[in-house]
Copies of this chain bind each other. A is one copy, B any other.
């Protein structure tokens, strides 16, 4: 049995698609507390049980451990910002949403796909996390599509289909990532660009495969990371997030997304997207994926290579 590399394991965990939740409770003074988590699953119908995992290192660990209940808010596709807020060290996270006390007392949000207001049923210590099992005392189910999360990035199938259905010329670009770095090359004006190609009759996947083959890197087409419209040119751009597993770039280099790198990206839409990628990668390390608080108390993962 080989030694487990925590960073590689974390990436493999990301292969399993999930929704995104914000788990909430009150502290002993009645202040609302909450954190973003995707380590949620339904468990049982009779009695009705759900579970969520909480990092031992979370600054709210004690409050959630001692609480007599908690709520799980399943975020809708348009609530990325709520997810980000509850994964960041924000002063007043609850200012970002309309919320109220659920029937069992924990904060439940407006505009979510569903919420479950639970009584604490059991607590199970499991390595560096606590499995918090709740008995559903009340719930609400809306019809909004849920926000998804996979491979360290949000997945929003309904929003993407909408953008793609508007027609016009289509270009595909590849956000080829390796250990947090992104494959960028310089254009003829010295600006940094992603590999991009116009979509032909073969469709987006054929175009993407062509891009990857030309890159010299071993990577497989992944999820759509962004769809955006370039008004001036009446072009739709689709960016696929592709994880590289080996090979050597034939042009361009894998680049850390520092502030100075981002300033050399000419296209504002690409710049925004790469900023988001840089932020979400950080959150993937410490935030969303493990349902941790982003705080000084969170110990960094051992870096593998």
Contact = CB atoms under 8 A, between A and B. Distances in A.
Listed residue (A47, A143, A167) with the most chain B CB atoms within 10 angstroms of its CB: A143
A16 B146 contact: yes
B165 A204 contact: yes
Contacts of A238: 161, 165
B155 A148 contact: yes
Interface residues of A, number: 93
A12 B157 contact: no
B150 A146 contact: yes
Interface in A21-48: 21, 38-48
A166 B203 contact: yes
Interface stretch (A125-133, A179-187, A250-258, A262-270): A125-133
B126 A122 contact: yes
Given A11-B141, A17-B146, A165 B158 contact: no
A15 B141 contact: yes
Interface stretch (A58-66, A87-95, A220-228, A271-279): A220-228
Contact of A164 (B17, B21, B165): B165
A145 interface: yes
A207 B38 CA distance: 32
A116 interface: yes
Contacts of A157: 148, 155, 157, 160, 223-224
Name the 4 nearest CB pairs between A and B, nearest first.
Answer: A44-B127, A165-B204, A143-B220, A12-B141
Interface of A: 1-2, 4, 6, 8-13, 15-19, 21, 38-51, 53, 74, 103-104, 113-114, 116, 121-122, 124, 126-129, 131, 133, 136-148, 150-151, 155, 157-158, 160-167, 170, 172, 199, 201, 203-205, 207, 219-224, 238, 240, 242-243, 245, 290, 301
